Each structure stands twice: as C-alpha cells, then as structure tokens.
Amino acid sequence: MEMLKRPRRLRGNEKIRSMVRETRISKDSLIYPMFVDANIEGKVEIEAMPGQFRYSLPALPGKLKELSAAGIRKVMFFGLPKEKDEKGSGAYDENGIVQQALRLAKKEVPELYYITDVCMCEYTSHGHCGVLKGQDVDNDPTLEYLARTALSHVQAGADMVAPSDMMDGRVLAIRNTLDANGYEDIPIMSYAVKYASSFYGPFREAADSAPHFGDRKSYQMDVHNIREGIKEALSDVEEGADIIMVKPAMSFLDVVTKVRDAVNVPVAAYSVSGEYAMVKAAAAKGWIDEERIVGEMAVSAFRAGASVYLTYYAPEIAKLIDEGKIG
C-alpha cells in the first residue's frame, strides 16, 4: 500500500509537537475565583474543595501576593457577609465584605486585576439571586439591587464586574448605572449562558448560598438547551456586555464553541466548584493523574473557543505552563 499521509510524522517528538500545536495558553487568560469571609479569622478550608479556602480580610493580602508571584494576574471575589436579610443589603453596603476586600487589595496588592461576582444569593436570607415575590425572584425590582451592587464594587475599586444572577436585563441596568456615575470604562463580564447545574454544589457550601427552598431553574438555563444560550449571549452583547461567559465548562464545551461562533466578543468558560471537587476526590483515591487531568481540562476549554478561563486550579495551571507541560 502506498501511504502518503502519515499523521504520526508531526507527533514524533516534543519539538515538532510544540511547533504544530493549535491551542496556546497563557497565564494572562486565567482568572482565579476567591471567597472573602466576614465571619472568620485567618482562613478556613472549604470541605468539598480541598485546597480552596475562605479568607478573612487580614489573610487576604498574603494570598494575593502569593498568586501574583505565581503569575496569576486576575482574581474574582465572592463575599460571605456578616449578616443576611431579605433584600441582600450586604451586597451593596459600601462597607460590605467585598467592598472592604477591594479597598484592601487595591492598596496592598495593586498589580492584580480585580473582578467581582455580582449576585445576591450569598447575601439574601432565602439564598435566591434576587428579591422575592412569593416563592420566585422578582426580576425587575432585582435589577436595581444588582446595579447598586455593581456600582458599589466599582466605587470600592473593582476593575470589572461579573453579574451571575441570570435576571433579564441586568447587563443593561448595570451598564446604565455605571455610565451615569462616570464609570463608562469599566467592563462587564456577563455570566450570560449560565445553566441550572448540579456542578455548583460545593460552591453553595463554600459561599453559604444554597437556596432555602426551591431551586434556580426559573432563572438559570435548562441544561438541555443550546439555542437559548445563543439568545442569552446575543442579548447580553446588545445590552453592552464586554465578555460573555459560559458556565459550567467541562460538560458544556459544545456551548462554548457555538457561542464563540455567534458573538464577536471574548468568551470565558468557568470550570466550577463541582468540576474541581470531582477531580480532587478522584485524585485523592489515586484513580487519576490530577496534574494531567487539570491540564487537559484547561486546554480543552481554550480549544473549544474560550479566550478566558476561570478556575480554582489557576495556580496549578500556571505552574504547568511555566514547566512547558501545556500551552
């Protein structure tokens, strides 16, 4: 047989493999999510996310400096407030936990880029992502609270805001409020295509944000749908979103690819708490090679079309890139 095509020619050694690589990864594209907690001292490990912690304000700068030294330049804050109430007032309190964390972080570790998750579920006594009417989140009144939250983050020093609530019209509401206050230059990364996923389980322990009744299916997306994701992405771009996020990542890479083809803004993929927890648990059993799995997960998010990757494994991925194992 005459065999002209031999794909193995381009796989023979590391020199040629690294030359023809189709996906390149940079530490610049990684975002590390973090939890700041007003109720603890020092730091407390999250049970279902070994190696991830909630940080008190005093413990925060040390961790940020460590990340910076490892080449992680972007972080995203979630807050656990002292008190919760019906209207999630800790979310937009100028002395709220995220606002204090931002002021401290900007002062102590100014070289990092600070993004905040804008949502109400960590701050409401009922654990839903907005204010309620009966048993359901009341969309339009919630927009004002979200916009106030985003504004208070930016006033405290946030470089970018990331609304994760899935209310209709919130990107526009936030954009208008930021602009009216002179913050036209602050970008919005919208959790535009956010599924009602079981992969968020460990996060709800980490952020103490599980809904006390019902679920989030009346606002987060049905996992069966992809065309609806395109609709969400397109309308958020129309409303002024600068980056569109797809979440979770690993089981939703088809969505990343489709959304990337549909919009002309950068697409971010969020590898969520449950993805982290699964890898950690299997690795602890010795059933998988954690380092290589983490590398594959990162590479596949970028290969699918993401330009930005949010992950609790950001420091490990940075190391893999430094060592030339991926990227």
Known binding-site residue numbers = 119, 121, 129, 204, 216, 232, 273, 312
Judged by CB under 6 A, the number of residues near ligand PBG is 11
72 binds ligand PBG (CB under 6 A): no
| Residues contacting 227, CB < 8 A, separation 6+ | none
CA distance 227 to 108: 44
The phi, psi pair for 251, rounded to 5°, reads: -90, 5
| Residues contacting 250, CB < 8 A, separation 6+ | 199, 271, 275, 297, 300, 301
Residues 214-233 that bind ligand PBG (CB under 6 A): 216
Which residues sit in the known binding site for Mg(2+)?
232
Q: Is 198 helix (H, G, I), strand (E, B) or coil?
A: helix
**Measured from the CB atom, is 5 or 213 closer to ligand PBG?**
213
Catalytic residue among 247, 280, 285, 325: 247
152 binds ligand PBG (CB under 6 A): no
Catalytic residue among 63, 74, 87, 194: 194
What is the 8-class DSSP label of residue 78? E
**Measured from the CB atom, is 52 or 100 closer to ligand PBG?**
52
273 binds ligand PBG (CB under 6 A): yes
Cα–Cα nearest to 263, from 190, 201, 187, 182: 190
CA 264, chain centre distance (Å): 20
* Omega before 248 within 30 of 0, i.e. cis: yes
**Measured from the CB atom, is 121 or 241 closer to ligand PBG?**
121
Min CB(319)–ligand PBG separation in Å:
21
Binder to ligand PBG among 272, 279, 301, 321 (CB under 6 A)? 272
For ligand PBG, the binding residues (CB under 6 A) are 117, 119, 121, 129, 164, 200, 203-204, 216, 272-273
